[in-house]
């Protein structure tokens, strides 16, 4: 008998007991829809974490100066400025896994336009900083190295500052912004980046060349960096190596004895990102595993109903054998029936799973990611479940003795 | 092997084991059935007639002895080959019809062709012809539960005929039918016999065996008597009466 004929016979047998077929597939439906929904939601959550960390900077490390201790009171990171401009230069030139490094000097300051004022954080840095942070520009241009060398009074401002001082949807490039009463020409406005995961507004910022910052906004010692160093490693795999190399370099440069504590600290932001992603991944895997168990239960349901079906149709099997069906024909017929049940359940499950994922994701405000490979795997796996759990009933049917089967009441 | 008899049994023995007890169903049966013969096998229950039928129908294999079907030794063929022999050479008619429920008469008749690998259009064609031959061309779309017992048995006969078999084996074909319908079915068998189809009939009813040209009586797994007779002609009922009854039975 041809495949098509076998399939027709199987589908006819299944539609003869519509309610029973539907209830049998329900196990597969639940299993597959759970797998699809869990994976889609998990991927959405992962993408969200990734996007949040991408706004922070790519493969980023932050080197903070050490702490000062005065009478037993620890001053916190940065209270003891131990990082020098020469340290920065050394990080930039001596470490191959470092793509770029930039100083990051910070101060809170009042800024003013002609008619508005606002208090924000002002950064002093070099052009490499925008590259490290992967912050693109929306209007105008970034300042350049020559601005840093010459101490030009130019600034790049964030979208929030532009909105507060010049109104929404304005383009204040070329206008003058007064920072601590010092006039700066706005060279560019950064593209909107939104908030960090802990609510910090990346757009509430004014960035000036580091030399101008030191001269006009917050003076400091000549040789030390009164802030931190932002570093971008050459790739996602290089961050850990870069961290170790920077640590080694700085310990060397600061002449720290073996066993002495670091007089600086390094934060590896990509490691935090990885840890978060690992958490989501574990959760997704766990949920998918639970869903897979329900697929197994669905398979057992199919086997159960196929065994009932074989017993019910013993006479039919006997007749089919009498008129020329070989054991292989009978086996194939029941196998295709089980397979059809499982795959139908799988397909319904995919539909329900996608719908469920979409609903949950919209209510959480996440992006839903549909992965075609997971859909294929889910349907394929349900087919496999159908074959595996259909095999025993099908084999049992094919082993029937036609004489006994025809006599069966 | 055109000269070989259709069926040739040589000292066929069949022994079953039921638990610890050995049941000797056939204790050495030899017989020959020629092409076109209408044979009735009679016997009480336990006489071995059903076992003999199963062996003739290649549903079962003898414990010892030889079975030559059209000159070919089939007693030791593997199950797959036996299925092919059943499909091509033998047509079965059962006491309880064994039609697939919720399946049209036409599709029931097509069933053996499905396993014979016959293409769709030829299958429809041959099944329709077969139904026409048993006088049910107008019932092709009916399901078994919409037909009378006699009609169902005629569908079953059409199913047996559709593969153009050499022999039709009928196991108590009239057992579930009233006497009037039984005569109808026997008339159909006689008609097939005249067309050159061999019919082997198992029955325990004396009346029914009268329609056969040869009666083999079995007892205790052996052939008790094997007689040829002038068969009684099964008169099909008058056409008017037939339609009247069939209109009553849906």
Residue B206 lies in a domain: yes
Which residue among A315, A318, A324 places its CB closest to the CB of B83? A324
| One domain, residues A30 and A121 | no
Residue A7 lies in a domain: yes
Count the Cβ atoms, other than its own, within 10 Å of residue B23: 14
Q: Environment class of residue A181 by beta-carbon count within 10 Å: exposed (0-12), middle (13-18) or buried (19+)?
A: exposed
A199 interfacial to chain B (CB closer than 8 Å): no
| One domain, residues A224 and A279 | no
Measure the N-to-C terminal CA separation of chain A; round to a whole number of Å: 27
CB–CB contact B80 A328 (8 Å): yes
Checking if the pLDDT of B160 tops 90, the result is yes
H or E segment to which residue A49 belongs: helix A18-54
A259 interfacial to chain B (CB closer than 8 Å): no
Q: Environment class of residue A222 by beta-carbon count within 10 Å: exposed (0-12), middle (13-18) or buried (19+)?
A: exposed
CB–CB contact B80 A326 (8 Å): yes
Residue B125 lies in a domain: yes
Rounded-to-integer distance, Cα A35 and Cα A40, Å: 8
**B79 chain-A contacts, CB cut-off 8 A:** 326-327
| One domain, residues A315 and A218 | no
Tokens representing residue B3 in the block = 């000269």
B95 φ/ψ angles, rounded to the nearest 5 degrees: -60, -45
Range of the domain at A360: 3-52+275-407
**A327 chain-B contacts, CB cut-off 8 A:** 79-80, 83
CA diameter of chain A? 105
Band of residue B168 on the pLDDT scale cut at 50, 70, 90: very high
Residue A80 lies in a domain: no
**B117 chain-A contacts, CB cut-off 8 A:** 1-2
Choose the final residue of a domain: A229, A263, A298: A229
Residue A122 lies in a domain: yes
Residue A139 lies in a domain: yes
Band of residue A75 on the pLDDT scale cut at 50, 70, 90: low
Residue A314 lies in a domain: yes
Range A116-121 average pLDDT: 89
Rounded-to-integer distance, Cα A124 and Cα A73, Å: 29
Q: What is the pLDDT of residue B221?
A: 92
Question: In this structure, are residues A132 and A102 in contact, taking their beta carbons and an 8 Å threshold?
Answer: yes
Name the nearest CA neighbour of A300 among A56, A9, A26, A8.
A26
Q: What is the pLDDT of residue B247?
A: 47
- pLDDT tens column, A299-325: 999 999 999 999 999 999 999 999 999
| One domain, residues A43 and A147 | no
DSSP code of residue A224? B
Choose the final residue of a domain: A168, A200, A229: A229
- pLDDT tens column, A8-60: 888 888 888 889 999 999 988 988 888 888 888 777 777 777 777 766 666 88
Rounded-to-integer distance, Cα A104 and Cα A64, Å: 10
Rounded-to-integer distance, Cα A82 and Cα A223, Å: 10
Task: Please spell the DSSP secondary structure of B185-203, one letter per residue.
Answer: HHHHHHHHHHTT-EEEEEE
Q: What is the pLDDT of residue B105?
A: 95
Range of the domain at B44: 7-248
Name the nearest CA neighbour of A299 among A384, A191, A364.
A384
Tokens 């069939």 correspond to: B246
Percent of all residues in chain A with a pLDDT value above 70, rounded to a whole number: 92
Which of A74-88, A290-304, A336-350 holds the top average pLDDT? A336-350
Q: What is the mean pLDDT of chain A?
A: 85
Tokens representing residue A398 in the block = 């094919």
Q: Which long-range contacts (CB under 8 A, 24 or more apart) does B204-211 make?
A: B204/B42, B204/B43, B204/B44, B204/B45, B204/B49, B204/B172, B205/B174, B206/B42, B207/B179, B207/B182, B208/B40, B208/B174, B208/B182, B209/B40, B209/B42, B211/B38, B211/B40, B211/B186
Residue B2 lies in a domain: no
Which residue among A5, A315, A323 places its CB closest to the CB of B86? A323
Q: How far is CA A391 from CA A355, A388, A402, A408, in A?
A: 32, 5, 20, 23
Q: What is the pLDDT of residue B84?
A: 93
A181: three-class secondary structure by DSSP: coil
Checking if the pLDDT of A368 tops 80, the result is no
Q: Count up the domains in chain B and report the number.
A: 1
CB–CB contact A5 B92 (8 Å): no
Range B98-126 average pLDDT: 92
Name the nearest CA neighbour of B11 among B33, B39, B30.
B30
| One domain, residues A48 and A107 | no
Q: What is the mean pLDDT of chain B?
A: 89
Q: What is the pLDDT of residue B248?
A: 46
Q: What is the pLDDT of residue B112?
A: 94
In this structure, the strands spanning A205-209 and A117-125 are parallel
Name the nearest CA neighbour of B229 among B211, B218, B217, B214.
B214
Q: Count up the domains in chain A and report the number.
A: 2
Residue B101 lies in a domain: yes
Question: In this structure, are residues B219 and B27 in contact, taking their beta carbons and an 8 Å threshold?
Answer: no
Top pLDDT among A104 and A3 is at A104
Low-confidence winner among A135-144, B55-64, B234-243 (lowest mean pLDDT): B234-243
**B84 chain-A contacts, CB cut-off 8 A:** 324, 326
**A323 chain-B contacts, CB cut-off 8 A:** 86-87, 92, 111-112, 115, 159, 163
Which residue among A2, A315, A328 places its CB closest to the CB of B98? A315
**A318 chain-B contacts, CB cut-off 8 A:** 98
| One domain, residues A279 and A399 | yes
Contacts of B234 (CB under 8 A, 6+ apart): B183, B184, B186, B187, B189, B190, B211
- pLDDT tens column, B185-210: 999 999 998 888 999 999 988 889 99
Q: What is the pLDDT of residue A291?
A: 78
A11 interfacial to chain B (CB closer than 8 Å): no
Rounded-to-integer distance, Cα B215 and Cα B36, Å: 14
Checking if the pLDDT of B130 tops 60, the result is yes
Q: What is the pLDDT of residue A261?
A: 81
CB–CB contact B59 A319 (8 Å): no
A70: three-class secondary structure by DSSP: strand
| One domain, residues A403 and A280 | yes
The enclosing domain of B93 has a CATH number of 3.40.50.300
Q: What is the pLDDT of residue B244?
A: 45
Smallest CA–CA distance from A16 into chain B, residue = B102
Percent of all residues in chain A with a pLDDT value above 90, rounded to a whole number: 28
Choose the final residue of a domain: A229, A261, A287: A229
ipTM: 0.90
HSE-up of A398 (CA within 13 Å, CB side)? 18
- pLDDT tens column, A231-285: 988 887 788 889 889 999 988 888 888 888 888 888 887 777 777 778 878 887 8
Name the nearest CA neighbour of A207 among A146, A151, A142.
A142
The beta-strand segments (E) located in A158-271 are 176-179, 182-190, 205-209, 227-233, 264-268
Task: For CA atoms A23, A29, A31, A37, give the dihedral sign.
Answer: negative
Q: What is the pLDDT of residue B89?
A: 93
Top pLDDT among A37 and A219 is at A37
């Amino acid at each position: 008998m041809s495949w098509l004929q076998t399939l027709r016979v199987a589908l006819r047998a299944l539609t003869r007991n519509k309610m029973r077929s539907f209830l049998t597939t329900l196990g597969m439906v639940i299993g597959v829809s759970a797998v699809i929904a869990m994976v889609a939601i998990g991927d959405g959550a992962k993408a969200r974490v990734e996007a949040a960390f991408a706004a922070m900077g790519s493969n980023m490390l932050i080197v903070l100066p050490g702490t000062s201790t005065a009478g037993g009171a620890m001053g916190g990171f940065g209270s003891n400025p131990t990082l020098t401009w020469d340290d920065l230069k050394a990080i930039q030139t001596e470490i191959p896994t470092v793509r770029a490094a930039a100083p990051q000097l910070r101060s809170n300051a009042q800024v003013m336009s002609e008619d508005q004022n606002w208090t924000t954080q002002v950064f002093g840095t070099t052009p490499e900083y925008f590259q490290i942070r992967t912050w693109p520009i929306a209007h105008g241009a970034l300042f350049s190295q020559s601005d840093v060398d010459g101490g030009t009074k130019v600034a790049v401002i964030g979208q929030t500052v532009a909105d507060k001082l010049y109104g929404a949807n304005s383009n204040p490039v070329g206008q003058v912004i007064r920072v601590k009463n010092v006039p700066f020409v706005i060279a560019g406005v950064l593209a909107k980046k939104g908030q960090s995961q802990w609510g910090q507004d990346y757009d509430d910022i004014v960035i000036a060349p580091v030399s101008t910052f030191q001269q006009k906004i917050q003076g400091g010692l000549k040789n030390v960096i009164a802030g931190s160093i932002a570093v971008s490693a050459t790739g996602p795999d290089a961050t850990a190596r870069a961290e170790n190399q920077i640590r080694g370099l700085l310990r060397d440069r600061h002449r720290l004895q073996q066993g002495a504590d670091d007089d600086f600290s390094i934060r590896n932001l990509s490691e935090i990102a990885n840890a978060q992603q690992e958490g989501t991944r574990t959760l997704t895997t766990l949920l998918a595993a639970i869903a897979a168990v329900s697929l197994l239960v669905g398979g057992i349901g199919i086997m159960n109903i196929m065994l009932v079906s074989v017993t019910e149709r013993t006479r039919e099997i006997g007749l089919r054998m009498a008129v020329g069906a070989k054991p292989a024909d009978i086996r194939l017929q029941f196998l295709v029936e089980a397979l059809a049940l499982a795959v139908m359940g799988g397909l319904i499950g995919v539909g329900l799973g996608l719908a469920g994922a979409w609903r949950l994701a919209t209510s959480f405000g996440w992006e839903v990611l549909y992965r075609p490979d997971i859909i294929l795997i889910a349907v394929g796996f349900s087919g496999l479940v159908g074959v595996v759990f259909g095999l025993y009933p099908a084999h049992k049917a094919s082993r029937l003795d036609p004489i006994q089967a025809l006599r069966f009441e | 092997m055109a000269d070989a008899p259709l069926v040739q049994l040589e000292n066929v023995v069949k022994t079953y084991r039921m638990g610890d007890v050995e049941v000797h169903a056939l204790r050495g049966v030899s017989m020959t059935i020629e092409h076109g013969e209408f044979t009735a096998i009679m016997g009480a229950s336990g006489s071995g007639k059903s076992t003999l039928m199963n062996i003739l129908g290649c549903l079962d294999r003898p414990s010892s002895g030889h079975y030559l079907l059209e000159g070919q030794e089939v007693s030791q063929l593997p199950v797959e080959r036996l299925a092919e022999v059943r499909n091509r050479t033998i047509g079965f008619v059962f006491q309880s019809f064994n039609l697939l429920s919720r399946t049209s008469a036409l599709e029931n008749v097509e069933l053996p062709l499905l396993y014979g690998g016959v293409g769709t259009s030829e299958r429809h064609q041959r099944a329709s012809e077969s139904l026409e031959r048993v006088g049910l061309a107008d019932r092709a779309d009916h399901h078994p539960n919409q037909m009378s017992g006699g009609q169902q048995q005629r569908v079953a006969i059409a199913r047996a005929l559709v593969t153009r078999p050499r022999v039709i084996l009928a196991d108590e074909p009239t057992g579930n039918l009233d006497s009037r319908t039984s005569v109808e079915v026997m008339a159909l068998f006689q008609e097939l016999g005249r067309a050159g189809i061999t019919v082997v009939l198992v029955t325990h009813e004396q009346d029914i065996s009268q329609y056969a040209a040869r009666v083999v009586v079995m007892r205790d797994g052996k052939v008790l008597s094997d007689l040829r007779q002038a068969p009684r002609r099964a008169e099909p009922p008058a056409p008017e009466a037939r339609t009247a009854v069939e209109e009553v039975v849906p």
